Amino acid sequence: MDNRDNLKQNMIYNEQFKYDGLNPMQQKAVFATEGPVLVLAGAGSGKTRVLTHRFAYLVEERGVSPYDILAITFTNKAAREMKERVEDLLGNYYRGLWVSTFHSACVRILRMEIDKLDFKKNFVIYDTMDQQVVMKECLEELDLDREMFQPRIVLGKMGRAKDQLIGPDRYASEFGDDFLNKKISELYGMYQDKLKKNNALDFDDLIMKTVQLFQTNPMVLHYYQNKFKYILVDEFQDTNMAQYVLISLLAKEHGNLCVVGDDDQSIYGWRGADIRNILGFEKDFPDSRVVKLEQNYRSTKSILDAANMVVANNMDRKVKKLWTDNQGGEIIQCYQGNNEYDEANFIASTIEKLNYEENRPYSQFAVLYRTNAQSRVIEEMLMKNGIPYRIYSGVRFYDRKEIKDILAYLRAVENPADDVSVKRIINVPRRGIGAKSMSRFEKYAEANSESFFNALLNVNKIQNQSRVEAQTNKFTDLIMSLREKRNEMTVTSIVEKIYEDSGYIDALLAEDKIEAESRIENLKEFLSLTQDFDENAEEKTLDGFLARTSLETTMDEDGDDMNTVSLMTLHGAKGLEFPVVFISGMEEGIFPSYMSIQENNEEEERRLCYVGITRAKERLYISHAVQRTLYGRTNQNAISRFIKEIPEGLIDIDKPYDRKKEVRKMQTSPLFTGAMMHQKRKSKHSLDPNRIKAGVKVKHPKFGVGTVVSVAGEILTIAFVDAGIKKISSEFVKLEITE
Residues carrying an active site annotation: 47-48, 234-235, 265, 615
Task: Name the residue type at position 97.
Answer: L
Q: What is the DSSP string of 409-429?
A: HHHHHH-TT-HHHHHHHTTSS
| HEC letters along 62-89 | CCCCHHHEEEEECCHHHHHHHHHHHHHH
Task: Name the residue type at position 569.
Answer: T
- Max Cα–Cα distance, the chain, nearest Å: 86
Nearest to 698 by CA among 666, 726, 659: 726
Distance CA 625, CA 640 (A): 10
Distance CA 719, CA 733 (A): 16
| Cβ atoms within 10 Å of 433's Cβ, excluding its own | 20
Beta-carbon contacts of residue 359 (< 8 Å; ≥ 6 apart): none
Nearest to 672 by CA among 635, 630, 714, 710: 714
Distance CA 490, CA 529 (A): 12
Cis bond before residue 429 (omega within 30° of 0): yes
| HEC letters along 596-617 | HHHCCCHHHHHHHHHHHHCCEE
Beta-carbon contacts of residue 664 (< 8 Å; ≥ 6 apart): none
Nearest to 621 by CA among 310, 265, 341, 351: 351
Distance CA 410, CA 279 (A): 51
CA-based angle 434:438:444, to the nearest 5? 150
Three-class secondary structure of residue 712 per DSSP: strand
How many whole angstroms from its chain centre is CA 476? 35
| Cβ atoms within 10 Å of 647's Cβ, excluding its own | 11
CB of 677 closer than 8 Å to CB of 670 = yes
How many whole angstroms from its chain centre is CA 446? 41
Burial code (b: 16+ CB inside 10 Å, e: under 16) for 680-690 equals: eeebeebbeee
Task: Name the residue type at position 107.
Answer: V
